[in-house]
């Protein structure tokens, strides 16, 4: 039995229910009249090479100082920024990256994220990739979750899943991304794809954390009937 991206989506959605990613604190932004999309941008940088629980602590620190705004991060003392995001790990690097993207968005777009995202996807993506410390996964997470523009995010969990099932794709970032986008676009309408990409990426992350680990839990895996890597069965 072959597993397709559509089947994968439906199996994991039935298993976990909808996950409604990206998690943001809407009440904070309503209270402070701030743009929740910037929280997603910050979170996408902070989550590089760390667990989300560590990111949440860093975001809580930034919120406690009322700092989740482009202009405020741009003007914040770098030592204070490093201190506030320390829980996310690699905090010196990440503070520099937050400064760089905040400076970029403020200087080029006056902090207007509507203007930033209201362009072609390739233009947005190339611009993000030109910013130091923003790679394909981070750029695509920002585009999908902050911009609500349909692009499939590939992470380490997705690559591991594609290797173990396997799907009919090579294992580079762009080949996996193109494969999922091509297959899902055959099934879902264009105006559904943003929602599908968000949900499927979230489902794959949870699946990777709970089942398809480096040492997988194959016996309990909801995909075991499709997988070629059942070494624990």
For residues 61 and 135, state if they share a domain. Answer: yes
What is the reported pLDDT for 43? 98
- Where is the domain boundary, 146, 163, 190? 146
pLDDT score of 232 more than 70: no
Helices (H), the chain: 5-16, 26-32, 36-46, 52-64, 70-75, 78-84, 91-109, 113-117, 121-129, 136-141, 156-164, 173-185, 193-210
Instruction: Render pLDDT for 129-147 as a digit per residue (tens, 0 to 9).
Output: 999 999 999 999 999 999 9
Given a cut of 80, whether residue 119 has pLDDT beyond it is yes
Q: Could you tell me if 49 and 136 lie in one domain?
A: yes
- Indicate whether 231 pLDDT > 70: no
Q: Please give the pLDDT value at position 40.
A: 98
Q: Are 192 and 164 in the same domain?
A: yes
Question: How many Å apart are CA 79 and CA 85, to the nearest integer?
Answer: 10
- Same domain, yes or no, for 104 and 13? no
Instruction: List pLDDT tens digits, range 66-104.
Output: 999 999 999 999 999 999 999 999 999 999 999 999 999
Which CATH number fits the domain that encloses residue 59? Answer: 1.10.340.30
Inter-residue contact 229 to 218 (CB < 8 Å): yes
Question: Which residues lie closer than 8 Å to 21 by C-beta, 6 or more apart?
Answer: 145, 198, 199, 201, 202
- Residues 160-219 have pLDDT tens digits of 999 999 998 999 999 999 999 999 999 999 999 999 999 999 999 999 999 999 999 999
Residue 229 lies in a domain: no
Q: What is the pLDDT of residue 78?
A: 97
What residues make up the domain containing 176? Answer: 5-20+152-220
Residues 157 and 137 in one domain: no
Q: Domain check: are 14 and 63 in the same one?
A: no
Q: Which residue is associated with the tokens 């994991």?
A: 12
* Residue 196 included in any domain: yes
Mean pLDDT of 101-124: 97
Give the count of domains, the chain. 2
**pLDDT score of 25 more than 80:** yes
Let me know whether 123 and 210 are in one domain. no
pTM comes to 0.95
Q: How confident is the model at residue 225 (pLDDT cuts 50, 70, 90)?
A: very high
Q: What is the pLDDT of residue 229?
A: 84
What is the mean predicted confidence (pLDDT) over 10-39? 96
Q: According to the model, what pLDDT value does residue 1 have? A: 66
Are 83 and 62 found together in one domain? yes
Q: Is residue 58 part of a domain?
A: yes
Q: Is the peptide bond before 166 cis (omega within 30 degrees of 0)?
A: yes
């Amino acid at each position: 039995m072959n597993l397709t991206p559509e089947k994968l989506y439906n199996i994991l959605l039935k298993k976990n229910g909808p996950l409604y990613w990206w998690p943001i604190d809407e009440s904070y932004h309503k209270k402070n009249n701030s743009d929740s999309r910037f929280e997603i941008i910050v979170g996408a940088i902070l989550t590089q090479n760390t667990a989300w629980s560590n990111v949440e602590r860093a975001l809580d620190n930034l919120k406690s100082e009322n700092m989740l705004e482009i202009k405020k991060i741009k003007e914040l003392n770098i030592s204070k920024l490093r201190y506030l995001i320390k829980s996310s790990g690699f905090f010196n690097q990440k503070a520099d990256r937050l400064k760089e993207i905040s400076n970029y968005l403020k200087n080029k777009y006056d902090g207007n994220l509507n203007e930033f995202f209201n362009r072609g996807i390739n233009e947005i993506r190339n611009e993000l990739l030109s910013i130091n410390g923003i790679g394909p996964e981070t750029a695509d997470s920002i585009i999908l979750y902050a911009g609500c523009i349909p692009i499939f995010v590939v992470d380490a969990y997705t690559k591991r899943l594609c290797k173990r099932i396997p799907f009919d794709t090579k294992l580079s970032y762009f080949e996996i991304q193109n494969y999922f986008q091509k297959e899902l676009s055959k099934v879902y309408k264009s105006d559904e794809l943003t929602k599908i990409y968000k949900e499927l990426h979230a489902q794959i992350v949870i699946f990777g954390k709970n089942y398809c680990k480096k040492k997988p839990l194959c016996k309990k895996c909801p995909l075991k009937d499709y997988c070629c890597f059942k070494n624990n069965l």
